[in-house]
Amino acid sequence: MRRRGNGTIQPWRVLKTQLAFDNRWAKVRQDECELPNGEVVPDYYYWEGGDFAQIFALTPDNEVVLTRQYKHGVKEIVTELPAGLIDSQETPIGAAKRELEEETGYRATEWVPLGQLNVSSAKATTRANAFFAKNARKTAEPTLDSTEEIEVLLVAIDELLDLISRGTVKDAGSVATTLLALKALKMKI
Amino acid sequence: MRRRGNGTIQPWRVLKTQLAFDNRWAKVRQDECELPNGEVVPDYYYWEGGDFAQIFALTPDNEVVLTRQYKHGVKEIVTELPAGLIDSQETPIGAAKRELEEETGYRATEWVPLGQLNVSSAKATTRANAFFAKNARKTAEPTLDSTEEIEVLLVAIDELLDLISRGTVKDAGSVATTLLALKALKMKI
């Protein structure tokens, strides 16, 4: 790795912090920060919370389990890897297993953590916890909330890569988790 | 592609909309929505705006240009692909060229759009516009804001994949853009 710069990047120091917007579904934090150069930023805003688990689940036939559903942030019907919020007092892998089963009805026999991803490092605290679920089989019907309507799709790995290239699968966390899983599998893309 | 479900996923209908939190740096929209099943969600919140460009820039020596800087959302010193907000009245590719040059001092002779990525399809409108910048060469010094301190790193593609696997590069947009670029290059991961 070749580097330009003096290697002295330092974090900001938080002088004051408060939730500027706060309810059960959305929290925006406002920080007053002192930068390493002494400059003070009086009001830096970012989205707080919403950590989730994201699952690359592979069946014994080497098919990847995808979900297709409406998401109201982007207002699109999206095709993504299964994912869901980590409840309080739940571990990331516990959430991953629960969400895979609830959204798709699949259970896997082997779970490999693939690491954490930052969703938006400047504007959110949110982390995606990526997992590789091996030997995933359908064991039940999905159990959805009344606000959820989800289709389950099975695609070969090559087909998933084509869906990503064509922009059909365009959730950054899903695409990033796919790269991590393929790297773990030492697969060609 | 094999599909379970009846193929009838429909978008939600917005009954009322307002900005519940709104300033120059952060906007949270609150929608009242009617779901396809007739259920009404009175208050769905999501982050609005912040579309940005993200650049996989490759030098004539096949090195990828990375930035290392402090980001206050995750409160970490992060290593990522160059990226930056698209200003109003600026095109995504215009922002990509400007940000690559400002953050790193590099200019590229060939630009290939890689598509759009959703940053958080449920909780944000935000899109990343991914670009592949070929034949990138350093032509100037970076021009940074007083709040920015950025180191520029050059890594081989294999080294970038190792940094991703090890969790050093963990920005979902950067990892997703890398997969899109490698797929465009028909590279093994």
Q: Check CB contact under 8 Å for B120 and A50.
A: yes
- Residue A145, min C-alpha distance to chain B (Å): 12
pLDDT of amino acid B186? 83
Predicted local confidence at residue A187, as pLDDT: 72
Phi then psi dihedrals of residue A31, to 5 deg:
-115, 140
- What string of H, E and C letters represents the secondary structure of A135-174? CCEECCCCCCCCCCCCEEEEEEHHHHHHHHHCCCCCEHHH
Residues B5-36 have pLDDT tens digits of: 666 899 999 999 999 999 999 999 999 999 99
Domain ranges of chain A: 13-47, 52-185
Q: How far is A136 from chain B (nearest CA, A)?
A: 15
User: How many helices and strands (H and E) does chain A possess?
Assistant: 3, 13
A-interface mutation test, from B24, B31, B47, most A Cβ less than 10 A away: B47
Using CA atoms of B25, B78, A175, B98 in order, give the dihedral in degrees to the nearest 10.
60
Where are the alpha helices (H) located in A28-140, listed in sequence order?
A: 92-104
pLDDT (0 to 100) of residue A186: 83
* Distance from C-alpha of A160 to C-alpha of A150, rounded to nearest angstrom: 18
d(Cα A85, Cα B29) in Å, to the nearest integer?
Answer: 20
In this predicted structure, the answer to whether residue B162 has a pLDDT above a threshold of 80 is yes
Residue A5 pLDDT > 70, yes or no?
Answer: no
**C-alpha to C-alpha distance for B30 and B13, rounded to whole angstroms:** 13
Taking the C-alpha atoms of residue B132 and residue A126, their distance in angstroms, rounded to an integer, is 26
Whole-number Cα distances in Å, A141 to A71, A81, A110, A138, B113: 21, 18, 20, 8, 40
- Please name the member of B28, B179, B188 whose beta carbon is closest to the beta carbon of A164: B179
Condensed to tens digits (0 to 9), the pLDDT of residues A149-189 reads 999 999 999 999 999 999 999 999 999 999 999 999 887 65
Residues of B in contact with A3 (CB under 8 A): 68, 151-154
Hey, what are A77's tokens?
A: 């019907």
- Are the CB atoms for B56 and B114 separated by under 8 Å? yes
Distance from CA of B97 to the nearest CA of A (A): 20
Q: What is the DSSP letter of B86?
A: P
Full-model pTM? 0.96
pLDDT for the residue numbered B56: 98
For residue A113, list its beta bridge partners: A131
Region B52-185: CATH code: 3.90.79.10
